[in-house]
Amino acid sequence: MPGGVSSSIRLNRALGRPFYVSRAEGAYLYDLDGREYVDMLTAHGAALLGHNHPAVRAAIQAALECGAVCGVETGAQSRVARALAEMVPCIDMVRFTCSGTEATMHALRLAREFTGREKLIKFDGHFHGYHDYVLWNYGGFSAAAEPAGAPRHDVKSGGVPAGIADYVILLPFDDLEAVRRALRLHGHEIAAAILEPIHYNAGCIVPSQEYMHGLRELTKEYGVVLIYDEILSAFRTGPGCAQAHFSVVPDLCTIGKCVAGGMPLSVFGGRREIVEHLRPLGNAEHGGTYNANLVPIMAAEASLAEIRKPGFYDHIYALADRLYPGMNALFQRHRFPARCQGLGARFGLYFGFSDEVRSYRDTAKHDAALALKFFAGMAARGVYFCDSSGKPGHHGFSIAHTLADMDRVLQATEDTIKTIQVGK
């Protein structure tokens, strides 16, 4: 395996190697030597219930006893679809797939089929997976790509045809006038506007209510399909996802990560009149042997039932209220140049400055070297963070974490700060 990893991000540069684990349980990871770590990666957000949750484990076992069916439908798919429609405001109909990349790819294709248009609006710094239409301008601000506040195409992988840039209109996030200008010029060509409603992939950047409502009205006016990519934001703030948090209903959304308790399942869905353009009712293709196979589907049924239980989000917000102000208080007390920003169960850490991060451009000040020192120090103290190659990224906790775990993270934070400041 190149780099010794199955996904490029798993090479932890803070450690100088991949981080290998022997098992995971609840809020904890255990390395090959059996050492315990408080898990602040949480499977990049997939483990909102924690690891090896008993309800999810029982559902997986039941699916295996049924034969782990692929290629045909069972009643479980319909039950999960119904649960999602009850929970998520925009969903009338859904389809299932295996990854977030597939979900955004199909959602964009569906929007193009529905509108008969070909271009899309993508917002600077937002991450939507690894297909060619979205591999632009994310994963670390580039001043060369945005010299004067107007994003230029900055492709993030080799092998992407240059001509695809002609179909991607890049705009700064939380700038309604930029959207208005783009729609005036190109509205008749634009099929969709896709965004992270909470910009967790640059840490945690929360747009204004005015912007989110204004974007909804402008896309309606120009007949542009508004797609919330909630692969990461889904169920972080509540059972209705970010769209319920903002009280804004998009046309389509994608959901993934934690929807199936850590099993490989993603969802795209939304307004009936759009989703019905999928075959066999319409002309947009969508297929896959492993789509909605019984193991992740039954895990999703169990996971959604847990998320809907009374008190679930009371605990999530209690953890957030302990951790986020606690980290910022430590940074301020020790005059350590860092900032924690979070909403619900996910948060970002920014290093080298302490000002509020309001835009992707603000992350240009981020000190990657200091970030890597911090994450290495935390790992040495039994708290594991994804290093994001030193760039601003997202971290989080699960329902399995406790207030004592948050206190353990805070103590490790203070000890790491002190060690960095004395140069050890």
Question: What single string gives the DSSP state of each residue in 210-279?
Answer: HHHHHHHHHHHHHTPEEEEEETTTTTTS-TTHHHHHHT---SEEEE-GGGGTTSS-EEEEE-HHHHTTBT
Rounded to an integer, what distance in angstroms lies between the CA atom of residue 91 and that of residue 270? 4
Question: Structure tokens of 16?
Answer: 């100088």
Rounded to an integer, what distance in angstroms lies between the CA atom of residue 322 and that of residue 332? 16
Radius of gyration of the chain measured on its C-alpha atoms: 21
Amino acid (1-letter code) at residue 355 = D
**C-beta atoms surrounding 258 within 10 Å:** 30
Say if strands 252-255 and 266-270 run parallel, antiparallel, or are unpaired. Answer: antiparallel
Rounded to an integer, what distance in angstroms lies between the CA atom of residue 262 and that of residue 256? 9
Q: Which residues does 155 contact at the CB level (< 8 Å), separation at least 6?
A: 135, 136, 162, 165
Question: Structure tokens of 66?
Answer: 């049924």
User: Where are the domains positioned within the chain?
Assistant: 2-52+310-421, 54-307
Say if CB 71 and CB 289 are below 8 A apart.
yes
- The kind and range of the H/E element at 130 are none
Q: Which residues does 168 contact at the CB level (< 8 Å), separation at least 6?
A: 119, 120, 122, 133, 134, 136, 153
Please give the C-alpha separations between residue 354 and each of 30, 331, 339, 391, in angstroms, as whole numbers. Answer: 33, 8, 5, 16
Rounded to an integer, what distance in angstroms lies between the CA atom of residue 384 and that of residue 395? 10
Please give the C-alpha separations between residue 205 and each of 230, 327, 343, in angstroms, as whole numbers. Answer: 14, 17, 9
From 3.30.60.50, 3.90.1150.10, 3.10.50.40, 3.20.190.10, which CATH number describes the 2-52+310-421 domain? 3.90.1150.10
| Residue 390 Ramachandran class (φ > 0 left, ψ -120 to 50 alpha, else beta) | left
The per-residue DSSP string of 269-330 comes to EE-HHHHTTBTTTSSB----TTTT-HHHHHHHHHHHHHHTSTTHHHHHHHHHHHHHHHHHHH
Distance, CA of 250 to chain centre: 17
Rounded to an integer, what distance in angstroms lies between the CA atom of residue 354 and that of residue 397? 22
**C-beta atoms surrounding 265 within 10 Å:** 29
Q: Which CATH architecture has domain 54-307?
A: 3-Layer(aba) Sandwich (3.40)
> Would you state the pLDDT for residue 318?
99
Residue count of the chain, please give it: 424
> Would you state the pLDDT for residue 56?
99
Q: Which residues does 237 contact at the CB level (< 8 Å), separation at least 6?
A: 198, 244, 245, 313, 343, 344, 345
Could you give phi then psi for residue 60, rounded to 5 degrees?
Answer: -65, -45
To the nearest 10 degrees (0 to 180), the angle between helices 312-333 and 403-421 is 20
Instruction: List per-block mean pLDDT (blocks of 10 residues) for the chain, which spans 424 residues.
Output: 84 87 98 98 98 98 92 95 99 99 99 99 96 90 59 88 96 96 98 99 97 99 99 99 99 98 98 99 97 97 99 99 99 98 98 94 92 97 93 96 99 99 82
